[in-house]
Structure 1
Amino acid sequence: MSQINRTVIATDSGLPSQSSDRSLASTSRLGARGLQLLSWLAPVLLVIIWESLAQVGWVSPQVLPAPSKVIRTAFKLATTGTLLNDLGVSLLRAAAGFAIGTAVGAGLGILVGFSRIAEAAIDRSVQMIRAIPFLAALPLVIVWLGVGEAEKIFLVALGVTFPIYINTVLGIRQVDPKLLELGRVQGLGSLQLIRRIILPGALPSILTGVRYALATAWLALVVAETIGAQSGIGFLAMDAREFLRTDVIILTIVIYALIGIAADGIARLLERRLLAWHPNYGAAR
């Protein structure tokens, strides 16, 4: 029997093929720490190449300052308190908007997920609002709420609502009907079905929505802080643009990237903790 046929038979029968065995063996040799180090290889190489090109003068400092220059700028702004103050303001705005958006998106998602009537009454309107770009809605939001904190938190909440809503509905609708039938046979009531079957089954999709929402929150905040802000990371970038401080602009971009990595790490930690029972999430990732 050929190697291809043996692989197909092993795959169809649910047994691991030789290629998957080799992949698992190589992964186990690397270990979790090795995989983490490998994930940072490309960013570190990029920074090294960037620094080298800047030092030999192949990249203009006015166009793209060296990473060492950006680090010195960060240290200077941190010692004066400017950077930490703006970072704290942006984090508070993002946290407030994320909490509001999550509550609204999860509430609407649960309602639509459990009720076809609610889907008919709500879903089309939600999808229409979701299709409106941030920049198109921004003038109207400014007319409604001005350019204060309410406008910024509202835009963040608006951006967060839709990923949470869509993935909550999807998670509830994807629960296996056979599991629900089994629960009813076992005598579980409606609340027990929700707590023991529907919620655990929908949780992977909901947490995926949380990861998307975290990224969307910062995108919305960047848009919000470019208009009428007097503090925040977005304000710091816009102020630096006026004075052609490309080192500060690069610094704000790096900060957004690092915050995104940290937020995604928190979401992955939640997945590992809340989905420890799930075979695809229980193992270290």
Structure 2
Amino acid sequence: MSLSTDFPSSADLAGKPRPSGVPARWKTFGLGILLPALIALGWELAVRAGWAEGRLLPPPSRILDTLWALAASGELWGHIGITLWRVGTGFVIGSAAGIVLGAASGHSQLVRALIDPSVQALRAIPSLAWVPLFILWLGIFEESKIALIAIGVFFPVYLGVSSAILSIDRKVVEVGRIFRLRGWTLIRRVLVPAILPNVVLALRTGLGLGWMFVVAAEIMGASQGLGYLLVDGQQLGKPDQIVAAIIIFAVIGKITDALVVILTAPLLRWQDNFTGRS
């Protein structure tokens, strides 16, 4: 008899097929965009009716015009592409380091005693405090920007992985040993499934911080990127460009977060969690 990570769900145990998730996903998507759509419509109507000036916070129509002009000139796609590349590269580096060191810290008391106090102290340093140091070390080129993003991603991933390992129920490990699972087999079939949900959450948190840190990174002498659009709009007094860049950050950040959820969903298909009342 052996353990398996493909645990049956309550629907499977009851002998009932799972309902299709497509209608539910579309319903969730529609509800998700309802609030921002209502806010945008309300602000547009308020500006058009003369109830608000709309100079410092432009109405959606002006923001769409700005986005269209940037997209038509091809400038927007260049800014989006370089920012995506920076965040993607920093995310891969930071999450890989966070997973490795977090796993070592969670698994070994000696490693945890050696590195965890220093990591926790460094985690408290504000993102902008790293900027002058990285400029001094790496210049204003891509290396300093990617390093700053990787730093932002590293800390939540490290903390999530190490905490997930330390929170594993001892009884789960004992059950695995009862079934004579040892070494890598125990890790693969018991420990990894136990920590995967928290690891995925840590990756999503790290990705979110990566998007926050990229703004600080692109202040470091960048001539391209969505962060550069923010700075350029502030210097030239273009609030419509600033808000447009913020909206693009929000949309792309949400899309990349959804991609992480989709890509990791097969690893968590054995879960049958409570999803809340509709």
| Interval containing the TM-score (normalised by the shorter chain) | 0.7 to 0.9
2:199 matched residue in structure 1: 206
Alignment map for 1:1-285 (pairs within 5 Å)? 31-280=24-273
The answer to whether the 8 A contact 1:271-1:281 is kept is no
Deviations 1:35-92 (A, max 9, x none): 3322222111101101111212333232111111111111111111111001100000
Following the alignment from structure 1 to structure 2, what is the Cα–Cα distance between the partners of residues 41 and 240? 28
- How many Å separate the matches in 1 of 2:78 and 2:152? 24
Please state how far the C-alpha of 1:257 moved relative to its aligned partner.
0.7
Q: What TM-score results when the alignment is normalised by the length of structure 1? A: 0.85
CA RMSD of the aligned region, Å? Answer: 2.0
Could you list the runs of 4 or more consecutive aligned residues of structure 1 that deviate by over 6 angstroms after TM superposition?
none
SS in 2 for 1:40: helix
The higher radius of gyration belongs to 1
Distance 2:52 2:148 in 1: 37
- Using the alignment, how far apart are the partners of 1:233 and 1:281 within structure 2? 38
Deviations 1:178-199 (A, max 9, x none): 1211111211121001000000
Cα displacement (A) at 1:271: 4.4
The offset of 1:207, in angstroms, is: 0.5
Mapped partners of 1:262, 1:124: distance in 2: 35
In 1, the alpha carbon distance for the partners of 2:157 and 2:52 equals 42
- The letter for the 1-side match of 2:198 is S
Contact kept in structure 2, 1:134 and 1:220, CA below 8 Å: yes
Cα distance, 1:199–1:216 mapped onto 2, change above 3 Å: same
Question: What CA deviation, in whole Å up to 9, does each residue of 1:117-159 have, x standing for no partner?
Answer: 0000110111111111111221111111111111110000000
Count of residue pairs brought into register by the alignment: 256
For residue 83 of structure 1, what is the amino acid of its counterpart? L
Larger RCO (alpha carbons 8 Å, 6+ apart):
2
- Paired with 1:55 and 1:163, the residues of 2 have a C-alpha distance of 44
C-alpha separation between the residues in 1 aligned to 2:28 and 2:75?
A: 36
**Structure 1 stretches lacking a partner, 5+ long:** 1-27
> Scaled by the length of structure 2, what TM-score is found?
0.87
1:203 is matched by which residue type in structure 2? L
Letter in structure 2 aligned against 1:76: A
Provide, for residues 77-118 of structure 1, a one-character-per-residue CA deviation record: whole Å limited to 9, x for no partner.
Answer: 111111100110000000010000011100100111110000
Alpha-carbon spacing, 1:89–1:31, altered in 2? closer, same or farther (3 Å): closer
Q: In 1, distance between residues paired with 2:33 and 2:67?
A: 21
AA partner of residue 198 (structure 1): L
